[in-house]
């Protein structure tokens, strides 16, 4: 079994060598965004230095080279998630835009007033608000499947929430707050038994675990480049061709058209129908470099290493008196949300920061979940494959020091 050489890997990430407040950075905010390996930064520079030209429009050499890079990046994404065709890969600005696209286009085609979208209680705002916005336009209702005290989705309750008016189930693969890994295979199976398509929010999963859209048989799957070691400003919408064919364009403009007259426009073939305007072809090339980097490390080796780090960090943190972990699912990703009695998460985060330790504090864009948990916010440490047990020990030492201060 291939194991990761963490000290070599850390050398690929220049930012990990920097200091903050005179201390070596301990970066534990990977669920918010990941750091970038040098190859991703180099790709961006190389693209601007040697290939930059607008894609799809030019007969000249550079435009064709840029187009080839962009389309090759699409194939890299296709292979990474094992999609059947590159026509099923739509480039967007991120998970948020991908979900907004589906909310707008899917609902316009397949929903009428009174129809329902089913989500779960652990969704990020970006898998709640787009449905509400579209719901206001069309008179749609949001249904929410509950979770248990460990932070696991209650599958029987999810199935009970399905009604004859349910048009789509949109569910996160991994919770950015609780770390819960949802049983998406079973969710897709349940949904399809009822003839309902499923959208998977994979913003927190593609970087941690193998995702195979064909094995899963999901209808839509979305993720962000910046959370999988790629650049900001790029995201992916995977959708089965049958849905993309049936859905109207999301935005209008260049690239997405076939012919335009003042009377009528016909639209481009897939996936361009959903990619209005100049795409971020530099970003997509750098995303492909990031995916190649992750693939070379091996997603299974990454998953094993991160799981060991999660187990170690959980054990260590639970030795702190008064520390409570929120989210104790049987199947959990490398995200630990916690609270310590008598210490506000904001104070904990600020004091850890002064020790060079970057964690996130607050509601993590999941206010309804915070309300359900009965807390204003949490402290969240989220780990990537470049984090180490030594960094976990530093986090622990920092927390213990803060506890003593209070
Ligand atoms: N969904 C989940 C589960 C997330 O964790 C995030 C970001 O934290 C998003 C969606 C939104 O991602 P982005 O801001 O990159 O669009």
| Each residue's pLDDT tens digit, 6-57 | 999 999 999 999 999 999 999 999 999 999 999 999 999 999 999 999 998 7
Spatial CA neighbour of 56 closest among 234, 372, 269: 269
Q: How far apart are CA 215 and CA 119, in angstroms?
A: 22
Can you tell me the distance from the alpha carbon of 62 to that of 281, in angstroms, rounded to the nearest whole number?
13
Q: Report the share of the chain in percent with pLDDT over 90.
A: 98
Does the pLDDT at position 2 exceed 90?
no
Q: What is the pLDDT of residue 1?
A: 73
- Whether ligand 1 lies within 6 angstroms of the CB of 94 is answered as yes
337 has a pLDDT exceeding 80: yes
Q: Of 220, 224, 228, 230, which is best to mutate to test ligand 1, by the most ligand atoms within 8 angstroms of its C-beta? A: 224
Per DSSP, helices labelled H in 247-331 are: 281-297, 299-317
Does residue 30's CB lie within 6 angstroms of at least one atom of ligand 1?
no
176 lines ligand 1 (CB under 6 A): yes
User: Is 76's C-beta closer than 6 angstroms to any atom of ligand 1?
Assistant: no
pTM for the full predicted model: 0.98
Can you tell me the mean pLDDT for 199-227? 98
Report all structural domains of the chain as residue ranges with CATH numbers, in order of start: 6-30+298-405 (3.90.1150.10), 42-295 (3.40.640.10)
| Residue whose entry in the numeric block shows the structure tokens 């690929």 | 12
Mean pLDDT confidence for 101-113:
98
Query: Is residue 20 a contact partner of residue 350, using CB atoms and an 8 Å limit?
Result: no
* Of residues 55, 20, 98, 7, the one with CA closest to residue 352: 20
Ligand 1 centre to CA of 383 (Å) is 16
Q: Separation of 365 CA from ligand 1 center, angstroms?
A: 8
* Token duo for residue 187: 């969710």
Helix/strand/coil for 26: strand
Cβ of 203 closer than 6 Å to ligand 1, yes or no, is yes
Given this model, what pLDDT does residue 389 score? 98
| Mutational pocket test of ligand 1: of 29, 34, 95, the residue with most ligand atoms within 8 Å of the beta carbon | 95
- The pLDDT of residue 129 is 98
- Contact status, residue 95 vs residue 223, Cβ threshold 8 Å: yes
Confidence of residue 406 (pLDDT cuts 50, 70, 90): very high
Query: Is-catalytic flag, 107?
Result: no
- Average pLDDT over all residues of the chain: 97
Q: Distance, CA 76 to ligand 1 centroid (Å)?
A: 22
Q: Which atom of ligand 1 is nearest to the CA of 175?
A: 3
């Amino acid at each position: 079994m291939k194991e990761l050489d963490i000290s070599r890997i850390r050398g690929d990430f220049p930012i990990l060598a920097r200091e903050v407040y005179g201390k070596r950075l301990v970066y534990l905010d990977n669920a918010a965004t990941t750091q970038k390996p040098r190859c991703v930064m180099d790709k961006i520079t190389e693209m601007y230095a040697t290939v930059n030209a607008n894609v799809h429009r030019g007969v000249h050499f550079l435009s064709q080279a840029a187009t080839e890079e962009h389309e090759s990046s699409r194939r890299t994404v296709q292979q990474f998630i094992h999609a059947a065709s590159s026509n099923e890969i739509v480039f967007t600005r991120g998970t948020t835009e991908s979900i907004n696209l589906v909310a707008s286009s899917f609902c316009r085609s397949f929903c009428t007033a009174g129809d329902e979208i089913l989500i779960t209680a652990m969704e990020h705002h970006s898998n709640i608000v787009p449905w509400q916005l579209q719901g206001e336009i069309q008179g749609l209702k949001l249904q929410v499947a509950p979770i248990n005290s460990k932070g696991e989705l209650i599958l029987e309750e999810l199935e009970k929430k399905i009604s004859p008016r349910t048009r789509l189930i949109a569910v996160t693969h991994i919770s950015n707050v609780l770390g819960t890994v949802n049983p998406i295979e079973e969710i897709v199976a349940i949904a399809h038994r009822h003839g309902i398509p499923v959208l998977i929010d994979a913003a927190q999963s593609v970087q941690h675990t193998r995702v195979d859209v064909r094995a899963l048989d999901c209808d839509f799957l979305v993720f962000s480049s910046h959370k999988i070691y790629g650049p900001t400003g790029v995201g992916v919408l995977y959708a089965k061709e049958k849905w993309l064919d049936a859905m109207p364009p999301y935005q209008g403009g260049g690239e997405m058209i076939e012919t335009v007259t003042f009377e009528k426009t016909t639209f481009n073939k897939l996936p361009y129908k959903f990619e209005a305007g100049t795409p971020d072809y530099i970003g997509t090339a750098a995303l492909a470099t990031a995916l190649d980097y992750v693939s070379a490390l091996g997603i299974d080796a990454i998953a094993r290493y991160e799981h060991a780090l999660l187990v170690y960090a959980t054990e260590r943190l639970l030795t702190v008196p008064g520390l409570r972990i929120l989210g104790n699912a049987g199947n959990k990703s490398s995200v630990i949300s916690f609270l310590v009695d008598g210490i506000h998460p904001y104070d904990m985060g600020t004091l850890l920061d002064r020790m060079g330790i970057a964690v996130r504090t607050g509601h993590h864009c999941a206010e309804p979940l915070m309300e359900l948990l009965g807390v204003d916010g949490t402290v969240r440490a989220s780990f990537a494959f470049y984090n180490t047990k030594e960094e976990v020990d530093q986090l622990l030492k920092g927390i213990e020091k803060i506890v003593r201060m209070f």
